[in-house]
Amino acid sequence: MTGEERALQGEREVASATLSSSMGDASNYTRWIMDWFRPYMGERLVEIGLGCGNYSEFFPPLSDYLGLDIDPDIIGGLRAAQPERDYVCMDLADPTFVTAVGRKRFDTAICVNVLEHISDHRVALENLRDVVAPDGHLLLFVPAFSWLYTDLDKLAGHVRRYTIAEVRALIESVGVEVVRLEYFNPVGAVGWWVQKCVAHQDLEAGKVTSQVRVFDKYVLPASRVANVLTKSFFGQSIIGVARIARR
């Protein structure tokens, strides 16, 4: 096994270990994200970072779909559950990414909680840009503010958290037009900050999974209302859309 292959294998093992199964139950949170994205979603979609596979149930009717993830177990499970869809096991920052996708070009690329895991996020975004057709959209979702970095970020394999200015600069550095960028989920940000006072060693620990479920069921409605007032300056995450220019 070459050094590059060992590194990729390590990234795949990390991917398996940094996914909390409780997010699969956070249907209200997932719906909130997808409601925000929906006006920008087309019929030909590539999804990057498949996680629990729970975002796809909120997609509009699609004429073409490709799902990509670095974790072969996730890919294998989704291929078995949805054999009618196409899946690729690959790192988004892989230099052969565009070749592996082939001649297909999509009108929508959705990338939720992925870029923060990738050391060379600029190359990853360039790859994503190159498989989206002109006038298509990149739908991005990343964690906000480096001062919110906690044990949970480390366990989740996060390399970084972002500000809106940093996301804007990253998008514009690959020649893509920013359409909309906002902070997202202010109450979640306060809860995440509180976690800095608590030691965490496992994303599957009961205190983590129970907090996710309580937030999704009882707290999220308040955060969704407050978000109207805080979206320009504060939130747990950043949500955004960018448009591919005509070449």
Kindly report the backbone phi and psi dihedral angles of residue 53, in degrees, each rounded to the nearest multiple of 5, phi listed first: 75, 15
Residue 106's contacts (CB-CB under 8 Å, 6 or more residues apart) are 42, 44, 45, 46, 64, 66, 131, 132, 133, 136
Beta strands in the chain (DSSP E): 44-48, 64-69, 86-89, 106-112, 132-143, 177-184, 237-243
Give the number of other CB atoms < 10 A from CB of residue 78. Answer: 18
CATH of the domain at 104: 3.40.50.150
pLDDT tens track for 71-85: 999 999 999 998 999
84, 109, 46, 101: which is closest to 243 by C-alpha?
109
- Expressed as residue numbers, the domain containing 182 is 3-243
Q: What is the mean pLDDT of the chain?
A: 88
Confidence of residue 165 (pLDDT cuts 50, 70, 90): very high
Mean pLDDT confidence for 226-241: 98
pLDDT single digits (tens) 28-44: 999 999 999 999 999 99
Mean pLDDT is highest, among 2-16, 22-36, 148-162, for 148-162
Q: pTM here?
A: 0.89
Contact indicator for 163, 189 with CB cutoff of 8 Å: no
- The count of structural domains within the chain is 1
Tell me how far apart the alpha carbons of residues 207 and 153 are, in angstroms, rounded to a whole number: 15
| pLDDT number for residue 212 | 87
Q: Is 243 left (phi over 0), alpha (psi -120 to 50) or beta?
A: beta
Residue that is written with structure tokens 């970095």 in the block: 149
Question: Which is more confidently placed, 69 or 7?
Answer: 69
Q: Which of 32-36, 107-111, 130-134, 203-207 has the lowest mean pLDDT?
A: 203-207
pLDDT at 191 over 60: yes
- CA 39 – CA 90 distance, rounded (Å): 28
Q: Which two tokens stand for residue 202?
A: 């496992």
